[in-house]
Amino acid sequence: MNVHAPLPEPLTERPVSSHNEWDPLEEIIVGRLEGSTIPSDHPVVTCNIPGMAARAQALAAGFRFPKFMVEPAQQELDAFIQVLERLGVKVTRPEPYNHKAKFSTPDWSSRGFCNSCPRDSMLVIGDEIIETPMAWPCRYFETHSYRPILKDYFRRGARWTAAPRPQLTDELFDPAFKLPEKGEPIRYILTEFEPVFDAADFFRCGRDIFVTRSNVTNAMGIEWLRRHLGEGYRIHEIKSRCPNPMHIDTTILPLGPGKILINPEYIYPDELPDILKKWDILVAPEPDPIEDRILKITSMCGKWLSMNILMIDEKRMIVDPHHTNMMRQVEKWGFEPIPVPFLHYAAFGGAFHCATLDVRRRGTLESYF
């Protein structure tokens, strides 16, 4: 199969329609880097950023990301968009936005961050797009840069919801929180003061939706989504051993019906929900180490970003060519990797899955279990 062959013409007229992570991709929102600002200092931010980047973030909080970080990431982003378009996928972009502007609630003030990762702030379930109640104060107004897109989808028939806007006052954060040491039970910085969640802590397999709790998603947030979606969906919690969990898409991700990719450090197969144990469990290979000093210092992400794959359909996937172990392994499993260099984007919070939000995939709502 020619991996650059465009997808067949869309069959659906719905502006938002996506039920899983692998149906043929028709339209995707891709994030933007213009206006990116180093996140304002807060314990919920620093607890999730790796050592060196966290120290730099604390010193430079509220300043624009420097050019030497933005420019190479922008080049990679532009090339990624070209690949998607060549594959016949419609690419939709948020507005450029001044994330450096200071904003306040009655309780606190902050500057913004960026809209590099639409995967976090919006969750697509079928024809509904849900703005999520995010726990990072600097992301409080992040969806505003997507509002023109959201209004357009809404005018064309999509359902558009915003979860209850959280207060993000001190009661939400455990002041005594420390990252667990090796062997200690996993704990989280969040209390159950109010529902919060990032969309990237969930993945969708039709009527079954899977979630990991994290330092940005609490039990109340998961329960809010469960009640909101009602009886048509089942939400299953997956136990992760990640000591600083933030987002499911470097821990476990479905690659197609019956195929689940797992991070062997964070997921123990015998602890998976029973329904997932029946799927083929594909163990991600050890990530290829990143030796470049600047990339290592500036990354906001962990080494398992090699797993942050975007499925174009059940066979084709976008993978970073740096991760040769992953490229070779997915080929052995019968997939067709499409290599796109993207390592510099890690400084802005992710790779292909994080940087995108698939709003339309051709397919119907199904039960895969």
The catalytic residue positions are: 198, 247, 354
Instruction: By CB under 6 A, tell whether 39 contacts ligand ABU.
Output: no
The yes or no reply on residue 246 touching ligand ABU (CB under 6 A) is yes
For ligand ABU, the binding residues in 91-110 under the rule CB under 6 A are: none
Radius of gyration of the chain (CA): 19
Selected range binding ligand ABU among 132-140, 147-155, 178-186, 247-255, rule: CB under 6 A: 247-255
Least distance in Å: CB of 38 to ligand ABU? 17
The dihedral region occupied by 98, where left means phi > 0, alpha psi between -120 and 50, and beta the remainder, is beta
Least distance between ligand ABU and beta carbon 355 (Å): 9
Q: Does 245 interact with ligand ABU (rule: CB under 6 A)?
A: no
Q: The tokens of 44 are what?
A: 């919920």
CB nearer to ligand ABU: give 153 or 197: 197
199 binds ligand ABU (CB under 6 A): no
Could you tell me which stretch among 1-9, 39-47, 245-253, 331-339 binds ligand ABU (CB under 6 A)?
245-253
Report if residue 337 touches ligand ABU, rule: CB under 6 A. no
Amino acid at 191: T
Where do we find the tokens 């064309």? 156
Which of 317, 354 has the CB closer to ligand ABU? 354
Pick the closest to residue 355 from 95, 20, 31 (CA basis).
31
Beta bridge partners of 316: 336
The only residue of 150, 350, 357, 360 in contact with ligand ABU, by rule CB under 6 A: 350
- The residue with tokens 């809209």 is 115
Contact pick of 32, 139, 207, 247 for ligand ABU (by CB under 6 A): 247
Query: Other C-beta atoms within 10 Å of 68: how many?
Result: 11
Measured CA to CA in angstroms, residue 326 lies from 40, 122, 180, 256, 354 at distances of: 34, 28, 29, 16, 18
45 in contact with ligand ABU (CB under 6 A): no
From 36-44, 171-179, 216-224, 243-251, give the range in contact with ligand ABU by CB under 6 A.
243-251
Please say whether the beta carbons of 37 and 112 come within 8 A. Answer: yes
Q: Which of residues 303-332 bind ligand ABU (CB under 6 A)?
A: 304-305
Position 143 contacts ligand ABU (CB under 6 A): no
Rounded CA-CA distance 193/138 in Å is: 19
In the chain, what are the helix, strand and coil shares in percent, each to the nearest 5?
A: 30, 20, 50
Q: Please give the DSSP secondary-structure letter assigned to residue 17.
A: B
Q: Based on CB atoms, which residue is closest to ligand ABU, 17 or 298?
A: 298
Q: Would you tell me which residues interact with ligand ABU (CB under 6 A)?
A: 200, 246-247, 249-250, 301-302, 304-305, 349-350, 354
